[in-house]
Structure 1
């Protein structure tokens, strides 16, 4: 739990300070005394996790004693929540390199509208003639978010027998699960278990799956093919920057192509042309380890994709988050009951019914295809 060192310097945050991933969680309105207690709990937990010898033993004794007080378990829950948020914000992810990001207000499907028509070159207008009318149409892409989560039940005996080690990487595990869920959903827009996603890469969208292996010549061919397409107004498709998405098996080949200083092309007559590598500045590389995990087909290792780099007008893929809930939510189940003589009982003392201690994480996220016009996919099955 390496984030403890960072957290102990940041926990006494000002009221309403933003934390975690972009645009999401905000610290609840609490006073400075509360944040000071959270910081103290984080420091104690850090000593338990990282200190050895006499210092570590003393820290464990202090922690066990603190767990019996009325407020410390909730403070420790606050530490776990902040560790999860810090982990979630710092864990590497792949999806943002090839998919955009948006937010939705609720769980109902959100329509991403592309207003079509009216953008072609202007018609000549004769003297005294009426200006010609143009028809506008809409292309709609649907995004829907869904609630995802997990529950981790621990037992009172596990905590006693493991000297609290059962808690060691709980927030890190849940944060990792949230990040990998996002990567999984975004990658599922590209492939399914049977290969490339043909509900998006198809002839009707003008981006049917090709069979070219990944080479410099074929990557140039893909960029050229996209540039020759036209939109609904017969306007050219212009993409300033592409992202080449490959699995780990094609990482070396992709780097070899994009880092080369020159490109060599041989035409059908055997004539070789040498040019500078224009693709080095136009194409970014995204190595996606989830591609061969999701795709179990025979072409999983050879498939590659070209999509517009996120942030441009023709975004092809997007991940959606529920507004106000863009980051994981961690909770502990408080069903311990009350002492006969009065007073709260810590969640870490176990449930009233079965002595379990249950942590739960919730994450609301969804993924959707957007504009297929500037995309290219190949299963690499050709020779």
Structure 2
């Protein structure tokens, strides 16, 4: 270690700070200054810091925080439509129907109370799996002081995990060929998004029977899923409290103002929905599904209990010197001289109660 730089590091913020949070922040600051290339001293100090035992760990924690912040910055397009479930392992799990009604039965004098089991397994299965990417900084780039890969990867991995979450959920609505998934929706059409077509879709949901067949579905919360290009139209249809309807009264066209029956439908403009759709319907397709908070959520998003939304790790496989002694972290992998970081997310999604779901290509 360079003696002069070593002395400077002793008084650096990541060493002198009195709290762990502050040490992490100071490590991130030192990295930012060295990465910026504003001075040869800052870059040299950053390289020297990587040779210490504490700086890489502190910077790794800073990267992890940055990745999770980037994850949260990506719009969660799944929250209104996907019920959250947690599992403890990778085995398939069946959704428990906790939404069924029960009724008390009359109990005669001296009689035992009759039992009931409202918690029943459904046929709906879901499970989680691992998803991830890795990024590396080569030894050559390290020697050149090019830390751009290292600087960018926390945000890339954090956003990647969030994008994957969105894609897994919306993949239930769209087939691999970019068409609407007829196997998921209980009814599809070609009607363009408008007052009457959305009213028909809502009526379809209201009249649908639940999976138990003992009554209608819970349509108290309906979510209108649209590509961003239809967001303005969707909000105009659902956010107005009063609307003017035109009808034919025996050959005379009349207009009447009445309460907007579509008011209260939630709008979810989804970039991921649009990305998955074929280009021919990318800006016209739309769907109406029961919300995540209803008794019959249309979709499930599962996560692994005790594991973060995005997990960041580094690979330490530098090996040892032939004559003995550890190889510095900054010299990279034994196999290819690269410092590797990877992001992991453990999630899964599945169709849930699809009764009352409706979609249209909007092509008419």
Give TM class, smaller chain.
0.7 to 0.9
Are the aligned partners of 2:135 and 2:342 in contact in 1 as well (CA < 8 Å)? yes
Aligned to 1:204: none
Per-residue CA deviations over 1:255-293 (Å, capped at 9, x if unaligned) read 22223353233446555432132433x111111112232
Shift of 1:146: 0.8
Of the three residues 19, 31, 49, the one matched with 1:45 is: 31
What is the CA RMSD across the aligned residues, in angstroms?
3.2
Q: Which residue of 2 aligns with 1:18?
A: none
Match among 228, 236, 249 for residue 248 of structure 1? 228
Q: Is the 2:223–2:266 Cα contact (8 Å) retained in structure 1?
A: yes
TM-score (norm 2): 0.81
Counterpart CA distance in 2 for 1:49 and 1:263 is: 57
State the SS of the aligned residue for 1:235: coil
- Structure 1 residues without counterparts, runs of 5 or longer: 1-11, 13-31, 125-131, 202-206
**Residue 238 of structure 1 aligns with which residue?**
218
**Among candidates 319, 335, 350, match of residue 337 of structure 1:** 319
Displacement of 1:151 after TM fit?
1.9
What's the counterpart of residue 8 of structure 2?
none
Q: Find the residue that maps to 1:96 and give its secondary structure.
A: coil
Contact 1:193 1:297 in 2 (8 A): no
Whole-Å Cα distance in 2 between the matches of residues 230 and 83 of structure 1? Answer: 46
Given that 1:73 and 1:346 are in contact with CA atoms closer than 8 Å, whether structure 2 keeps it comes out as no
8 Å contact 2:218–2:290 — kept in the other structure? no
169-178 vs 76-85, which moves further: 76-85
3-state SS of 2:63 partner: helix
Could you say what secondary structure the match of 1:149 adopts? strand
Query: Equivalent of 1:199, from 165, 183, 186?
Result: 183
> Contact 1:265/1:272 (CA < 8 Å) preserved in 2?
yes
Q: Give the whole-Å Cα distance in 2 for the aligned partners of 1:138 and 1:362.
A: 30
1:134–1:347 CA distance, 2 compared to 1 (3 A): closer
Instruction: Name the structure 2 match of 1:128.
Output: none
1:138/1:68 CA distance change after superposition, 3 Å: closer
Give CA-to-partner distance per residue, 1:45-64, whole Å, 9 cap, x none: 233356x74xx544322211
Question: 1-side partners of 2:99 and 2:62: how far apart?
Answer: 50
Aligned equivalent of 1:63, options 42, 46, 52: 46
Deviation at 1:253, TM superposition (A): 1.6
Partner of 1:187: 170
Look up the match of 2:339.
357
Deviations 1:226-276 (A, max 9, x none): 112233344233322221100122122212222335323344655543213
Aligned to 1:279: 262
The alpha-carbon deviation at position 168 of structure 1 amounts to 1.5
8 A Cα contact 2:51 2:330, kept in partner = no
The answer to whether the Cα contact below 8 Å between 1:304 and 1:380 also exists between their aligned partners in 2 is yes
Alignment counterpart, residue 239 of structure 2, candidates 241, 256, 259: 259
The secondary structure found in structure 2 opposite 1:191 is coil
Determine the structure 2 residue equivalent to 1:15: none
Q: How many residue pairs get matched?
A: 339
Residue among 194, 213, 217 paired with 2:196: 217
